[in-house]
Amino acid sequence: MRTYTNVKDLGDLNLAVKEALEIKKNRYAYKHLGENKTLLMVFFNSSLRTRLSTQKAGMNLGMNTIVLDINQGAWKLETERGVIMDGDKTEHILEAIPVMGSYCDLIGVRAFAQFENKEYDYNETILNQFIQYSGKPVFSMEAATGHPLQAFADLITIEEYKKTNRPKVVLTWAPHPKALPQAVPNSFADFMNEANVDFVITHPEGYELDPKFVRGAKVEYDQDKALAGADFVYAKNWAAYTDPNYGKILSKDRSWTISSEKMALTNDAYFMHCLPVRRNMIVTDDVIESPRSIVIPEAANREISAQTVIKRMLESL
Ligand code: CP
């Protein structure tokens, strides 16, 4: 595997989940693969789970790991070609990337959508520059349009908790005070559309996601209807995708918050969220603290999804 940016990079999804669950049973079985190999993790944005779980995954595989926070200690990077660099940006990303590539064997990149230019974001400009210029296998640790390590961990979690062969999984928009990218819901849809689940997306009008990710999924604008009979409720906020509102907040309607009343509409569903989560905006305290909340095991599976991806990349070196 040379790149990991979306569900297709995993090939057969059932096999990938099976491999992940095998790794989970003995996460140190492949320690030899990473011996004398270095994983570089480059963060343009903050992280708790991705940073810790990916570093741990690399260590489980015997790798050395280096973490670079671009905005804390590194030179400020210019990311657009053709700019006259007479401002505060000291180094161009086109030199920085191959330099970074020269110090490592694999690179993970976190670079969120900036909401300044939809084309720049949806072309995955920063991630693709790493793929093009680093000379090393590159995986997304959440880029502008996708968070495939999160979605893979979500699918592993659903596989572990499902009670029926084809569970109903509902992705629901929920309110948030800040404008958040569409990366998590995009990748979640990308994975659920390939998985054996009855997948429904619900959100207020105006929050339609990119059709490239929604594909054939059912979109239900009435949240209560969507939640009826759900086995898994996956809550997430995102800002508007469609023009002319790209990156804007259109609603903070707290009637969309996942509460115990909303969960009562479901088939005793499990509650999921990628974290970090804003309590009593996205989900009420009682729901996230309930026995049906699986946000902690979901986050723990980030180590397993990352380890499966890194293992495959090491095997292809
Ligand atoms: N879910 C997730 O990616 O968490 P972090 O932003 O803390 O890495």
Quote the pLDDT of residue 119.
97
pLDDT of 105-133, one tens digit each?
A: 999 999 999 999 999 999 999 999 999 99
Can you tell me the mean pLDDT for 194-215?
Answer: 98
pLDDT of amino acid 263: 98
Residue given tokens 């880029």 in the structure block: 143
Give the Å distance between the CA of 141 and the centre of ligand 1. 9
| pLDDT tier for residue 201 given thresholds of 50, 70 and 90 | very high
Ligand 1: residues with CB < 6 A are 47-50, 142, 150, 274-276
65: Cβ–Cβ under 8 A, 6 or more apart, which residues? 38, 39, 40, 41, 55, 58, 59
Are residues 162 and 272 located together in one domain of the fold? yes
Residue of 48, 69, 296 to mutate, ligand 1, most atoms within 8 A of C-beta: 48
Same domain, 142 and 258: no
- Identify the domain containing residue 131 by its residue range: 3-146+302-315
- CA 40/CA 46 separation, integer angstroms: 16
Q: Are residues 106 and 192 in the same domain?
A: no
184 plus 237 within the same structural domain: yes
Give yes or no for a contact between 314 and 61, defined as CB atoms under 8 angstroms apart: yes
- How many domains are contained in the chain? 2
- Tell me: do 15 and 81 sit in the same domain: yes
Q: What is the CATH number of the domain that holds 196?
A: 3.40.50.1370
Question: Is residue 30 located within the same domain as residue 108?
Answer: yes
CA distance 151 to 214: 14
Considering the chain, what is the average pLDDT of its residues?
Answer: 97
**Would you say residue 182 has pLDDT above 90?**
yes
Q: Are residues 125 and 189 in the same domain?
A: no
- DSSP letters, 169-237, are EEEEE---SS---SHHHHHHHHHHTTSSSEEEEE--TT-PPPHHHHTT-EE-S-HHHHHTT-SEEEEE-
Whether residue 94 is found in the same domain as residue 211: no
- 136 and 188 inside one domain: no
Rounded to the nearest whole angstrom, what is the distance from the C-alpha of residue 132 to the centroid of ligand 1? Answer: 25
* Position 214 confidence tier, pLDDT thresholds 50, 70, 90: very high
Helix (H, G, I), strand (E, B) or coil at 117: coil
Instruction: Report percent pLDDT > 70 for the chain.
Output: 100
Same domain, 71 and 165: no
Residue 4, classified by CB atoms within 10 Å of its CB into exposed (0-12), middle (13-18) or buried (19+), is buried
